[in-house]
Amino acid sequence: MNEIETVIIFFAFLFAGSLLYRAKRKHESLLSFLENLELEYIFVGIAIFSMTGSLPVPVPTMNGMLYLLLAFMGLSLGTHFSVKLLLTVPLRYFIFTGIVYLSLLPLLYVVVRVSGFSSPMMTAIALNTLMPYSLNLSMKLFRVPKDKVFTSNLTASLFPLYTLLAYSVAGGILDYRPSDFLFSMMAALVLAFIFLHYGKIRSKKNIHNLSIIYVVMISGVALFFSMSPLVVGFLTGLITSDTKYGNIFQNMSISFERILYIFFYVALGVMLAYGYSFSPGAFLTAGVLYLCFFAVRFYMAKLLAWRLIPTKGEVICLVSTGILPAVLFMDFATRRGYEAVAGLFVPFFMLHLATEITTYFMMKNERKTY
């Protein structure tokens, strides 16, 4: 099977999966929860790797696709963090999120370093994130009122901002030279200026068409200067978040959110097949990481919330990791090579699965208590 056929099959699965998601029924069973998280597409990635196993690296064409999709993902995440909206969030929620984030980071660093993985700080930053998707899904399954998880939802929404800012700064210090990080900032400012000017004088339809060129330019600049496409996209999106273009792109990117999730789960499956090692060490690493998550994001976060925030009987459910760590690992691999991160995917997958199942049972138990 050649690379063109692989790409066709890859994107066929993405679009078919996006359509299939609409047909999925949301039941209260654990299987339904896992299906709606799109975890089955990990097996699609494993199958794709098996079909292209004769190639020297797993799906070489994925590198080009990754630059495009990582740039789109970064731009999408950046435009979602409106500075004006962030200023309306009470300070205590930023303090709460910051303490939880900083408390877990050194624990993850120690575990990753002892486990012998390269770039332990970048890996710890990538693991230390949270996204609200699984929390929102379990809320829908068990019909838990929003006021019961308001603090958890808001914290989960802020966490990617902390992670991406830390990843951007650490990348400039640890991942590549500070001069390259300066290029990232300059590229983000130049691209933002170009498209902000365009957005003021053109129609919404033209901006939609231009967004494709925008993403290609971001990924091209990142590829040319060997920079992070996710960081360049994120910084550009953050700069444009409170503008007309930022609002239009944010609304447009929502319709592609499902395809992005499916893509990164498929890519996760490819990386699992490429660097799988279900050794006792991988299980031990995943187990220790899970204990760190549970101790900080459940026990400590609950005690901290009672002191800082009038929770009024809210459930504190911040254990899940979401798919963002895998996205950051893949972004890191675009510059350091897939071999540098392949060993991380098995421990992350086990951690991801364990934390998502924990979230499911936490919310199921919450339904019984109100």
Residue 128 pLDDT level (bands cut at 50, 70, 90): very high
CB atoms within 10 A of CB 205: 9
Q: How many CB atoms lie within 10 A of CB 215?
A: 23
3-state secondary structure of 301: helix
Query: Which pLDDT band, with edges at 50, 70 and 90, does 69 fall under?
Result: confident
Per-residue pLDDT, 147? 80
Residue 183, pLDDT above cutoff 60: yes
Q: 152 and 130 in contact (C-beta within 8 Å)?
A: no
Total count of domains within the chain = 1
Q: Which CATH number fits the domain that encloses residue 90?
A: 1.20.1530
Torsion angle, CA of 240/191/228/252, rounded to 10 degrees? 50
User: Which pLDDT does position 97 carry in this prediction?
Assistant: 93
The pLDDT score that the predictor gives to residue 58 is 46
What gap in Å lies between CA 72 and CA 215, rounded to an integer? 6
Looking at per-residue pLDDT, the higher value among 200 and 311 belongs to: 311
Is residue 265 within 8 A of residue 335, CB to CB? The reply is no
Residues 6+ apart with CB under 8 A from 366: 142, 144, 148, 149, 315, 317
Helix axes of 3-23 and 257-275: crossing angle, nearest 10 degrees: 130
Q: Dig out the tokens for 312 from the structure.
A: 């009024």
- 312 or 350, which is more confident: 350
Q: Average pLDDT of 303-308?
A: 88
Calpha distance 78→126 (Å, rounded): 17
Tokens 């101790």, residue? Answer: 295
Average the pLDDT over 176-203 and give the result: 63
How would residue 28 be classed by pLDDT, with cut points 50, 70 and 90?
confident
Residues 6 or more apart whose CB falls under 8 angstroms from that of 45 comprise 265, 266, 267, 268, 269, 270, 271, 272, 273
For every residue of 247-294, DSSP letters joined together read HHHHHHHHTTHHHHHHHHHHHHHHHHHHH----HHHHHHHHHHHHHHH
218-269 tens-digit pLDDT: 888 888 777 888 888 888 888 888 877 777 777 777 666 677 777 778 778 8
pTM, whole model, 2 decimals?
0.84
Domain boundaries, position 346 = 3-369
Alpha helix segments (H runs only) across the chain: 3-23, 30-36, 41-51, 62-80, 83-86, 91-114, 120-127, 133-142, 150-170, 178-201, 204-224, 229-239, 244-254, 257-275, 280-294, 301-308, 324-336, 345-369
Look at residue 306 and tell me whether its pLDDT is greater than 50: yes
Query: Is 45 within 8 Å of 273 (Cβ atoms)?
Result: yes
| 57-71 average pLDDT score | 70
* CA-based nearest residue to 282, from 358, 343, 341: 343
Q: Are 229 and 331 in contact (CB under 8 A)?
A: yes
Nearest-angstrom CA–CA distance, 146 and 132: 12
- Residues 329 and 122: their CA atoms lie apart, in Å, by 9
| Predicted pLDDT at 93 | 92
What is the rounded average pLDDT for all residues in the chain?
A: 78
